[in-house]
Structure 1
Amino acid sequence: MTTEPKDQDRLKALEKRIEEAKAETSESHHMKKDYSQAQHAWRMVTELVAGLLIGFVIGYGLDYAFGTKPIFLVIFILLGFAAGVKTVIGSAQELQTQLLDKESGKNGEK
């Protein structure tokens, strides 16, 4: 059974398309990496905003309960901000540790 030249051209074209698809897959891996970094950034923003909101709610609730209008609100917003910043710093350190571990693992394999 012989393969006609027409079929060989089709097979070569198919192989070329397969190689191009494999190359695109490696490029999409880069996009996943960027997406992962965006997830970390949004996580940090969310943690900071959550600290502020929790501080606001607690401060407002205490001011409402005790009849002291802005004092607890200001105090707990500042405490919420400090807690949010502390959480963001912890997340950044965790991310840095993961990246350093990943890099040291790659360097150890080479």
Structure 2
Amino acid sequence: MSDGPDPDRLNALEAKLNAKKKAMTPEPAEEHHLSQAQAGWRMVTELVVGLLLGFGFGYGLDSFFGTIPIFLVLFTMLGFAGGVRAMMRSAEEITKKNAETHDS
């Protein structure tokens, strides 16, 4: 029996542990050059969906109540406001994400 640990076995064990750690370490996420375009399309989609929802609800209420297109105009404006608000939240989220990325 030897007095101390075998250095060759310790080196082999250390190499295996380093290989396992390297395999478990996630790859850094790469930013695609289309990310800004995707953000732009997301904002446009949010605006259009807000407008269409407002238009649809307004038209439906006008049809249900048999009124002049007062609800159509009112809800289209509300849909536009909601779409703009959603766009602003998306822009703020993207700004925070970019600030965190550049600070790190």
TM-score with structure 1 length normalisation?
0.66
SS of equivalent residue, structure 1 residue 59: helix
Distance of 2:99 and 2:68 partners within structure 1 = 48
- 4+ aligned runs moved over 4 Å, structure 1: none
Q: Amino acid of the residue matched to residue 42 of structure 1?
A: W
- Residues 1-110 of structure 1 correspond to what in structure 2 (within 5 A)? 32-33=32-33, 35-105=34-104
Deviations, residues 33-66 of structure 1 (Å, cap 9, x unaligned):
2x11100000000000000000000000000000
Q: Of Structure 1 and Structure 2, which has the larger fraction of its residues in helix?
A: 1
Higher relative contact order (CA 8 A, sep 6+): 2
Unaligned 5+ segments in structure 2 are: 1-29
Q: Amino acid of the residue matched to residue 103 of structure 2?
A: S
Q: Which of 1 and 2 has greater Rg?
A: 2
Of all paired residues, the percent bearing the same amino acid is 53
Distance of 1:85 and 1:51 partners within structure 2 = 8
Q: How far is the alpha carbon of 1:69 from its aligned partner?
A: 2.3
* Equivalenced residues, count: 75
SS of equivalent residue, structure 1 residue 69: coil
Unaligned 5+ segments in structure 1 are: 1-28, 106-110
